[in-house]
Amino acid sequence: MNISLLGKNALVGGSSKGIGEAIARQLADSGANVTLMARNEDRMQSIVREMDSSQGQKHQFLVVDFSDFEAFQKTISDFFKSNTVDILVNNTQGPQAGGALEKTVADYQEAFDLLFKSVVFTTELALKHMQDQKWGRIINVASISVKEPLNYLALSNSIRAAVVTWGKSLAYDVAKDGITVNNTLTGYFDTDRIAQLNVKKAEKLGISPDEVRSNMEQQVPVKRIGDPKEYGYLVAFLASEQAAFITGTNIPIDGGLLKSF
């Protein structure tokens, strides 16, 4: 099967590193014109220079701060005045770790703006072009914690669950327009985010971050954590014509970690 996204415009959130970067690079490898979207301008400049453009693609980047919704709202609105998107990958940095008893109402509001409002607002702007052309792909990067909550990620558990159920509702409404909406449920991947969480977990448990990582690897049936490139492969498929009959799904990418189904 040859996945070709030639002529498609993709917008990828949180794409200056980690999973978002891997997704952006794979979409470019598959022929799409990719717009990166994150805070780190220098890093995005470097990635754009490195991304595959052998099929005549044009890549660009958009500097945004997902944690400042008002500023994000203005920046993304300006972007859509002169750009259209065929493939939208909704992905942001995660909120602060911590248990339910550690978080306040204000913390939940901040997480809601970061993880939910930014996703819904961006999707609303992208949908008009998708509906006009009767084709579109929306992929929401979520977490396995929406099915099996992690007690040290109360904010992420709660708000990402809202994104997933919203995505399911949206999938039903736009299916007639040739638009698919799918949620990817992220397991353990080799990213800066995991490394940071492991440091905090190690402090609480009184062990080393290496021990935390080793324990994490042992929990996964395939006995390793994921390479972000593997995430890119899944998203490229979901963005393709070959995935036209897949919509409204929650797809774990976790090496078999989830025990539920």
What domains lie within the chain, and their CATH numbers? 9-187+227-252 (3.40.50.720), 191-225 (no CATH)
Q: What is the pLDDT of residue 189?
A: 95
203-256 confidence digits (pLDDT tens): 888 999 999 999 999 999 999 999 999 999 999 999 999 999 999 999 999 999
Considering the candidates 152, 188, 231, 233, report the single residue annotated as catalytic: 152
> 61-85 in b/e burial notation, b at 16+ Cβ within 10 A?
bbebebbebeebbeebeebbeebeb
The model carries a pTM of 0.94
Query: Per-residue pLDDT for 257 more than 80?
Result: yes
Q: What is the pLDDT of residue 134?
A: 98
106-148 confidence digits (pLDDT tens): 999 999 999 999 999 999 999 999 999 999 999 999 999 999 9
Q: What is the pLDDT of residue 97?
A: 86
Query: Per-residue pLDDT for 196 more than 80?
Result: yes
Answer yes or no: 152 catalytic. Answer: yes
55-64 confidence digits (pLDDT tens): 999 999 999 9
161-186 confidence digits (pLDDT tens): 999 999 999 999 999 999 999 999 99
